[in-house]
A and B are shown apart, each in its own frame.
Chain A
Amino acid sequence: MSRERLFVKSTRQIFGVRGSLLFVRAIGGIRYGELVEVSLDGTSILGQVIDVSKDAAVVQVFGSTTGVTPGKSVVRFYGETIKVPVSSDMLGRIFDGLARPIDGGPQPIPEDYLDIHGSALNPALRVPPSEPIETGISVIDGLLTLVRGQKLPIFSGSGLPHNRIAMQVVRQAAVRGSGESFVVVFGAVGVAYEEAAYFLRELRSMGALDRTIAFIAPASASTVEKLALPRVALTAAEFLAWSYDAHVLTILTDMTNYAESLREISAAREEVPGRRGYPGYMYTDLATIYERAGRVATRKGSMTIMPILTMPDDDITHPIPDLTGYITEGQIVLSRDMWRKGIYPPVDVFLSLSRLMKEGIGEGKTRGDHRELFSQLISSYAEAQYLRELSAIVGLESLTPRDKKYLDFGDLFERKFINQGERERRTFEQTLDVGWEVLSVLPEEELKQISPQTLKKYHVKYRLGVQTRSG
Chain B
Amino acid sequence: MSGSSGRIYRVSGPLVVAEGLSGVMMYEVVRVGEEGLIGEVIAIRGDRAYVQVYEETSGLTVGERVVATGRPLSAELGPGLIGSIYDGLQRPEKEIASSTGSIFIRRGVSVPSLSRDTRWSFERSRDVKPGDKVNPGDLIGFVRESPLIVHKIMVPPEVGGYVKWLAEDGEYTIEDPVAVVASGDREYEVRMYQLWPIRRPRPYAEKLNPVEPLITGIRVIDYVFPMAKGGKAAIPGGFGTGKTVALQEITKWSHADIAIYVGCGERGNEMSDALTSFMKLMDPRRGRPMMERSVFIANTSNMPVAARETSVFLGVTIGEYFRDMGYDVVMVADSTSRWAEAMREISGRMEEMPGEEGFPAYLSSRLAEFYERAGRVRALGRPERYGSLTIFGAVSPPGGDFGEPVVRSTVRYVQCFYALDYGLATRRHFPAINWLLSYSLYTDFVKDYWNKLTSWSEYREAFLKILQREAELSDIVRLVGPEALPEEDKLVLEVARMIREDFLQQSALNPVDAYSPPEKGVMIAEAIMEFYRLARRALAKGATVARVRELKSRSEIAQLKYYTLKQLSEEVFKKVVDDVRSEFRDLLGGE
B399 contacts A322, CB within 8 Å?
yes
0/1 string, A241-270, CB within 8 A of B gives 1? 010000000000000000000000000000
B345 contacts A280, CB within 8 Å?
yes
Q: Beyond A33-B59, A280-B348, is A128–B103 a contact (Cβ under 8 Å)?
A: no
Q: Beyond A124-B85, A284-B305, A291-B300, is A329–B358 a contact (Cβ under 8 Å)?
A: no
Q: Which residues of B contact A280 (CB under 8 A)?
A: 341, 344-345, 348, 358
A329 contacts B398, CB within 8 Å?
no
B58 contacts A32, CB within 8 Å?
yes
Q: Determine the distance from Cα of A108 to Cα of B354 in the docked complex, in whole angstroms.
A: 48
B62 contacts A54, CB within 8 Å?
yes
A294 contacts B269, CB within 8 Å?
yes
Of the A-B pairs whose beta carbons lie under 8 Å apart in the complex, a sample of 15, sorted by A's number, is A33-B57, A53-B17, A123-B268, A124-B85, A126-B268, A126-B272, A242-B103, A274-B344, A274-B357, A280-B341, A284-B342, A287-B302, A293-B269, A298-B97, A358-B509
Q: Determine the distance from Cα of A149 to Cα of B267 in the docked complex, in whole angstroms.
A: 12
Q: Which residues of B contact A353 (CB under 8 A)?
A: 240
Asked if A221 is an interface residue, CB under 8 A from chain B, the answer is: no
Q: Which residues of A contact B106 (CB under 8 A)?
A: 119
B85 contacts A327, CB within 8 Å?
no
B400 contacts A26, CB within 8 Å?
no
Q: Which residues of B contact A81 (CB under 8 A)?
A: 58-59
Tell me the smallest distance from the CB of A349 to a CB of chain B, in Å. Answer: 11
Q: Beyond A121-B103, A287-B302, is A322–B239 a contact (Cβ under 8 Å)?
A: yes
A53 contacts B9, CB within 8 Å?
yes
B305 contacts A319, CB within 8 Å?
no
- Complex partner residue of A123 from B85, B348, B357, CB under 8 angstroms: B85
Asked if A28 is an interface residue, CB under 8 A from chain B, the answer is: yes
Q: Determine the distance from Cα of A293 to Cα of B343 in the docked complex, in whole angstroms.
A: 26
A128 contacts B269, CB within 8 Å?
yes
A26 contacts B11, CB within 8 Å?
no
Tell me the smallest distance from the CB of A383 to a CB of chain B, in Å. Answer: 13
Closest Cβ neighbor of A57 among chain B residues: B62
Q: Which residues of A contact B400 (CB under 8 A)?
A: 317
Tell me the smallest distance from the CB of B317 to a CB of chain A, in Å. Answer: 20
Q: Determine the distance from Cα of A151 to Cα of B239 in the docked complex, in whole angstroms.
A: 15
Tell me the smallest distance from the CB of B215 to a CB of chain A, in Å. Answer: 27
0/1 string, A301-330, CB within 8 A of B gives 1? 000000000000000010100110111011
Q: Beyond A54-B9, A280-B358, is A124–B97 a contact (Cβ under 8 Å)?
A: yes
A291 contacts B12, CB within 8 Å?
no
**A residues 103-136 touching B (CB-CB < 8 Å):** 117-129
- Complex partner residue of A275 from B105, B348, B354, B357, CB under 8 angstroms: B357
- Taking residues whose C-beta sits less than 8 angstroms from the other chain, chain A's interface range is 35 or more
- Complex partner residue of B271 from A51, A126, A284, A326, CB under 8 angstroms: A126
A128 contacts B58, CB within 8 Å?
no
Q: Which residues of A contact B105 (CB under 8 A)?
A: 119-122
Asked if B426 is an interface residue, CB under 8 A from chain A, the answer is: yes
Asked if A443 is an interface residue, CB under 8 A from chain B, the answer is: no
Q: Which residues of B contact A283 (CB under 8 A)?
A: 265, 301, 338, 341
- A→B interface (CB under 8 Å): 26, 28-34, 50-54, 80-81, 117-129, 149-151, 242, 271-275, 280-281, 283-284, 287-288, 291-294, 296, 298-299, 317, 319, 322-323, 325-327, 329-331, 350-351, 353, 356, 358
Tell me the smallest distance from the CB of A153 to a CB of chain B, in Å. Answer: 11
Q: Determine the distance from Cα of A83 to Cα of B404 in the docked complex, in whole angstroms.
A: 39
B358 contacts A123, CB within 8 Å?
no
B301 contacts A299, CB within 8 Å?
no
Q: Determine the distance from Cα of A117 to Cα of B303 in the docked complex, in whole angstroms.
A: 12
Asked if B44 is an interface residue, CB under 8 A from chain A, the answer is: no
Most buried by B among A33, A292, A325: A33
Tell me the smallest distance from the CB of A331 to a CB of chain B, in Å. Answer: 8
0/1 string, B260-277, CB within 8 A of A gives 1? 000101011111110110
0/1 string, B275-318, CB within 8 A of A gives 1? 11000000000000000000000101111010000000000000
- Complex partner residue of A350 from B396, B399, B426, CB under 8 angstroms: B426
Q: Beyond A127-B272, A291-B268, A353-B240, is A271–B348 a contact (Cβ under 8 Å)?
A: yes
B302 contacts A31, CB within 8 Å?
no
Asked if B497 is an interface residue, CB under 8 A from chain A, the answer is: no
A284 contacts B17, CB within 8 Å?
no
Q: Determine the distance from Cα of A272 to Cα of B298 in the docked complex, in whole angstroms.
A: 29
Q: Which residues of B contact A117 (CB under 8 A)?
A: 56, 58
Tell me the smallest distance from the CB of B246 to a CB of chain A, in Å. Answer: 14
Q: Which residues of B contact A26 (CB under 8 A)?
A: 62
- Complex partner residue of A294 from B17, B56, B240, B268, CB under 8 angstroms: B268
Asked if B541 is an interface residue, CB under 8 A from chain A, the answer is: no
**B residues 168-225 touching A (CB-CB < 8 Å):** none
B103 contacts A288, CB within 8 Å?
no
Q: Determine the distance from Cα of A287 to Cα of B399 in the docked complex, in whole angstroms.
A: 17
Asked if B45 is an interface residue, CB under 8 A from chain A, the answer is: no
Closest Cβ neighbor of B9 among chain A residues: A54
Q: Determine the distance from Cα of A193 to Cα of B58 in the docked complex, in whole angstroms.
A: 35
Q: Which residues of B contact A127 (CB under 8 A)?
A: 272, 276
Q: Which residues of A contact B582 (CB under 8 A)?
A: none
Closest Cβ neighbor of B95 among chain A residues: A124
Tell me the smallest distance from the CB of A306 to a CB of chain B, in Å. Answer: 15
Asked if B365 is an interface residue, CB under 8 A from chain A, the answer is: no
Tell me the smallest distance from the CB of A238 to a CB of chain B, in Å. Answer: 9
A273 contacts B267, CB within 8 Å?
no
A32 contacts B301, CB within 8 Å?
no
Tell me the smallest distance from the CB of B431 to a CB of chain A, in Å. Answer: 16
Q: Which residues of A contact B130 (CB under 8 A)?
A: none
Q: Determine the distance from Cα of A275 to Cα of B358 in the docked complex, in whole angstroms.
A: 9
Q: Which residues of A contact B267 (CB under 8 A)?
A: 291, 327, 329
A123 contacts B298, CB within 8 Å?
yes
A122 contacts B96, CB within 8 Å?
yes
A122 contacts B357, CB within 8 Å?
no
Q: Determine the distance from Cα of A51 to Cα of B17 in the docked complex, in whole angstroms.
A: 11
A32 contacts B345, CB within 8 Å?
no
Closest Cβ neighbor of B354 among chain A residues: A272
Q: Determine the distance from Cα of A50 to Cα of B342 in the docked complex, in whole angstroms.
A: 18
0/1 string, B102-116, CB within 8 A of A gives 1? 111110000000000
Asked if B587 is an interface residue, CB under 8 A from chain A, the answer is: no
Q: Determine the distance from Cα of A49 to Cα of B270 in the docked complex, in whole angstroms.
A: 34
Q: Which residues of A contact B301 (CB under 8 A)?
A: 283-284, 287-288, 291, 327
Q: Which residues of A contact B10 (CB under 8 A)?
A: 51-54
- Complex partner residue of A51 from B12, B272, B426, CB under 8 angstroms: B12
- Complex partner residue of B93 from A30, A124, A298, CB under 8 angstroms: A124
Q: Which residues of A contact B399 (CB under 8 A)?
A: 275, 317, 319, 322
Closest Cβ neighbor of A58 among chain B residues: B12
B62 contacts A52, CB within 8 Å?
yes
Q: Determine the distance from Cα of A280 to Cα of B63 in the docked complex, in whole angstroms.
A: 30
Closest Cβ neighbor of B427 among chain A residues: A382
**B residues 49-101 touching A (CB-CB < 8 Å):** 56-63, 85, 87, 93-94, 96-97
- Complex partner residue of A128 from B239, B276, B300, B401, CB under 8 angstroms: B276
Q: Which residues of A contact B238 (CB under 8 A)?
A: 322
Q: Which residues of B contact A275 (CB under 8 A)?
A: 357, 398-399
0/1 string, B321-359, CB within 8 A of A gives 1? 000000000000000001001101100100000100110
B59 contacts A322, CB within 8 Å?
no
- Complex partner residue of A122 from B63, B104, B396, CB under 8 angstroms: B104
